Amino acid sequence: MLTSIKTTTIRNTLFFIVTLFVMSYSEAQNSPSFHPFNGFHLGVTGQTEYVQKCSFVPLTGSDPAPKEKWSFGWEAGIEFSYHFAKYFGIAMGINFGTVVSYDAHWYLSTVPYMGGWKEVNEYEGFIGGTPCINEFIFPIKVEFHYPLGNRFFFATEVGAKLKGISYRIRYGKDGYAIGSHFRFKEYFSINNEGEYEGIRYYEDRGFRDLTQIHCDLLVGVGLYYALPYGDLLRFNVGVNVSFKPIIEGYYHYFLTDSYGTFSVKNDFIYTQLSYIHTFNWQKARIFLKKNHVSFASKKERRKQVIEIINN
């Protein structure tokens, strides 16, 4: 009899465990995760860039090299991400923005003045703005995020940016295509016949191999903020480091025959603001519909959806 009681007890215990497991599994199946970092996300991003100075190296002549200046760039695009764990995710973007931006002030030793020449010996900025090239950019990165409170998350990102893919497709791997651009300064003076005469003063010309794909390193830190209806806002700051110059060329002062070389890398500090759609709003509405939950008004349904997402 004692053996029978033990058998019955074991059977009931096993039945209870199996029933509890089935109920838990069923609940898990019917209750999707509404954690803000779960599954696929779609975002829009925009960033400003503070681009490092280019590099001028004088080779010969009396005039000093142009004085390098920091310049500015920008990017905007869309981001596709997948968060496969509680703290990690991967993302790929399609952006359009700055791949080359540089600025410098050239040195003025003398300038035409009153039919002659006047000594100046100072630097002057270029008229017409800084050279800037925009094209498609493809960032790929790994992300780590950690909760700081109810709605805030600390985030870091490490990845790479690919530039020049569109030109590579156009020109091919074995082709040879050079893109060039230049700035120049020309003065006009009146000659002995009373006619205007153009005087070439300065020029810099840069060259870029359009068959090359450039890969940059990006490293950033930032904050996520979880909105009440499930989406995310993200603010990042970071650095972009190029492994080699994207443009190389020369500069030339014609009056003194002073010249040298210059190169441009796409190194910059960036600040980025992003809006990330998590699809949690849609998942919560589908969950309520599958469970045949009805509401008296749209306002009541919206309130219930927000409660599900945040709880």
SS3 letters for 65-118? CCEEECEEEEEEEEEEEEECCCCEEEEEEEEEEEEEECEEEEEEEEEEECCEEE
- Residue 140 host element (H or E): strand 132-147
Q: What does the alpha-carbon distance between residue 154 and residue 146 come to, in Å, rounded to a whole number?
A: 5
Q: φ and ψ at 300, to 5 degrees?
A: -70, -40
Token reading at 213: 């794909």
Confidence (pLDDT) at 241: 96
Does 18 have pLDDT greater than 70? no
Mean pLDDT to the nearest integer, 243-272? 92
For residue 234, give Cα distances in angstroms to 40, 42, 98, 238, 271.
Answer: 16, 13, 21, 13, 11
Confidence (pLDDT) at 21: 41
| pLDDT one-digit tens code per residue, 262-277 | 999 989 999 999 999 8
Give CA 157 to chain center in angstroms: 11
Token reading at 116: 């002659």
> Is pLDDT larger for residue 35 or for residue 206?
206
Q: Which residue has 């650095």 as its token pair?
A: 239
- Residue 311 host element (H or E): none
Confidence (pLDDT) at 98: 94
Mean pLDDT, all residues of the chain: 81
Calculate Rg over the CA atoms of the chain.
31
Highest-scoring range by mean pLDDT, 110-119, 173-182, 287-296: 110-119
Please state which of the ranges 3-17, 102-116, 180-194, 197-211 shows the lowest mean pLDDT: 3-17
> What order of strands is seen across the sheet that includes strand 103-113?
67-69, 103-113, 116-125
3-state secondary structure of 289: helix
CATH architecture classification, 39-278 = Beta Barrel (2.40)
Could you state, in order of their start, the residue ranges of all structural domains in the chain?
Answer: 39-278, 280-311
The whole-model pTM stands at 0.77
